[in-house]
Structure 1
Amino acid sequence: MMTNTPRVPLWFRIVMLLLIAWGLVGCFACIQQFRLGAEAMGPATEYQRALYASLPIWYNAVYAVATGTALLGAFALLLRSVLSIPLFAISLVAVLIQFGWLFLATDIVAVRGAGQVMPFPAFIAGVAAASLWLARHARARGWIA
């Protein structure tokens, strides 16, 4: 049976592949944090070790949800599935919970400075929001069903 789904533009395919790579890197970083704790990003300071030790038990689960659903959402886009929308939405919510809690419930900004700790999480949240927008845009264009 033939379908009349519009052809996906090249830029969209490139972005899909970039999102898959982003998701793989995120999942790898998450696994490394599970394995190595505060040392996941290299030698940790005493403050970083204490901060990691103080994280609530649910924090790593939220991290896993954020990265896992981002990767699954990217694969759903590749498969042209509308499931990418709820997967990216879940990822965005998890990212906001993860970093919202980190910045509001700990002293990391006061200790390390906003300029040092805020840019990358803001970038991560931006990618999550852009991924959700892209999936919705693809749905509106008929690129995913």
Structure 2
Amino acid sequence: MLLLWGALGCWACFTQLTQGADAMAAASDYDRALFDRLPLWYRLDYAIATGTMLLGAVALLLRSRHAVALLTVSLVAVMIQFGWMFAMTDIIAVKGPYVLYFPLLILAFGALALHLAHLARRRGWIV
């Protein structure tokens, strides 16, 4: 499941970074303007967050100790990404609090994946 989640995240990142706001369903003028204003570091952080999630899932499948580090980087990158988005833009005021639901789901998956990696390390499933 984590492998699929990571692959979907990478696909979403790739399409959004290559197609811009048009990659999102029914992008509004606000969405387009917001995407155009995103700093380069934010886009890089998005790629890091999704890429390390996918690599962390692969590392778990391969029983690699690198899973913990990769999934930690992913979760931190996600927190930076959404922390900046919600603290430094007016997205909640414009779109309402429901825009928090999917980011919270993404954070939950990241935390769950990291918890699973720690559990696997403690139980000796990964070395």
1:97 is aligned to: 80
The separation in 1 between residues aligned to 2:78 and 2:115, in whole angstroms, is 15
1:76 is aligned to: 59
The separation in 1 between residues aligned to 2:40 and 2:122, in whole angstroms, is 39
Q: What is the root-mean-square deviation of aligned Cα atoms in Å? A: 0.6
Deviation at 1:42, TM superposition (A): 2.3
Give the one of 111, 117, 122 matched to 1:135. Answer: 117
The one-letter code of the counterpart of 2:84 is: W
Mapping of 1:102-113 within 5 angstroms? 102-113=85-96
The one-letter code of the counterpart of 1:129 is: A
Give the one of 53, 64, 74 matched to 2:47. Answer: 64
Percent of matched pairs sharing the same residue: 54
The separation in 2 between residues aligned to 1:109 and 1:99, in whole angstroms, is 12
Which of the two has higher C-alpha Rg?
Answer: 1
The separation in 2 between residues aligned to 1:129 and 1:86, in whole angstroms, is 13
What's the TM-score, normalizing by structure 1? 0.86
Deviation at 1:59, TM superposition (A): 0.8
Deviation at 1:43, TM superposition (A): 3.1
Deviation at 1:127, TM superposition (A): 0.5
Deviation at 1:34, TM superposition (A): 1.0
The separation in 1 between residues aligned to 2:55 and 2:36, in whole angstroms, is 29
SS of equivalent residue, structure 1 residue 118: helix
What's the TM-score, normalizing by structure 2? 0.98
Q: Could you list the runs of 5+ residues in structure 2 that have no partner in the other structure?
A: none
Mapping of 1:1-145 within 5 angstroms? 18-115=1-98, 117-145=99-127
Q: Could you list the runs of 5+ residues in structure 1 that have no partner in the other structure?
A: 1-17
